[in-house]
């Protein structure tokens, strides 16, 4: 696999892999990487919602990332899963975000933040955030590049595959 991926069919194929879709639909957090107002990189954990075509995160209109993303909309996202090396999975996504200020609470925010709550807890949470946020910013990432790795399943980055092959005797012999 090459690291460059600009073909939208390739991106869609990668995101449609069953284990990649599982991460998109069930993981509670992603890690959003962007360049801050000062131009330096940031990585933040944040709840997200996958709408079938894009990763959506929502935040307060006053959050520092809003101004930074408006100025520099290119981002990367990582969604991880698995508690052991044999279960480790990662979905890496890159693209450009769009920002939209909306009145009230976006449905994507509620869908992303209540994934692991029962109905009563979700209702209580929703009531609280509706009082807290008169507006929010919906940040939408339509993927332009994606790669799914299943480390225990053998779907690993090319450089690791080459190192493993060499270590297992596929490379030059050592004396």
pLDDT tens digits, residue range 152-172? 888 888 888 888 888 888 655
Please give the Cα distance from 21 to 51 (Å, whole number): 11
**Selection from 159, 139, 140, 19 nearest residue 91 by Cα:** 19
For 8-166, CATH gives 2.30.110.10
**Alpha carbon distance 103, 28 (integer Å):** 24
- Does the pLDDT value for residue 24 go beyond 60? yes
CB 11 within 8 A of CB 141: no
- Return the domain boundaries, the chain: 8-166
User: Taking all residues of the chain, what is their mean pLDDT, rounded to a whole number?
Assistant: 91
How large a percentage of the chain has pLDDT more than 70?
Answer: 93
Model confidence at 142, pLDDT cuts 50, 70, 90, reads very high
Residue-level pLDDT at 175: 38
Q: How confident is the model at residue 1 (pLDDT cuts 50, 70, 90)?
A: very low
Span 27-79, pLDDT tens digits: 999 999 999 999 999 999 999 999 999 999 999 999 999 999 999 999 999 99
Contact of 139 with 56, CB cutoff 8 Å = yes
Closest alpha carbon to 49 in 76, 27, 81: 27
């Amino acid at each position: 696999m090459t690291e460059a991926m600009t073909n939208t069919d390739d991106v869609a194929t990668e995101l449609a892999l069953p284990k990649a879709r599982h991460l998109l639909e069930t993981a509670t957090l992603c890690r959003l990487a962007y360049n801050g107002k000062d131009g330096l990189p940031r990585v933040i954990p944040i709840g997200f919602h996958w709408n079938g075509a894009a990763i959506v995160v929502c935040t307060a209109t006053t959050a520092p990332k809003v101004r930074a993303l408006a100025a520099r909309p290119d981002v990367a996202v990582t969604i991880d899963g698995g508690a052991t090396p044999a279960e480790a999975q990662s979905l890496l996504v890159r693209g450009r975000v769009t920002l939209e200020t909306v009145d009230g609470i976006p449905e994507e925010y509620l869908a992303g933040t209540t994934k692991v709550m029962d109905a009563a807890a979700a209702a209580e949470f929703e009531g609280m955030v509706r009082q807290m946020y008169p507006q929010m910013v919906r940040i939408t990432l339509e993927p332009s590049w994606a790669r799914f790795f299943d480390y225990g399943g053998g779907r690993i980055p090319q450089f690791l595959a080459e190192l493993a092959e060499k270590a297992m005797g596929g490379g030059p012999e050592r004396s």
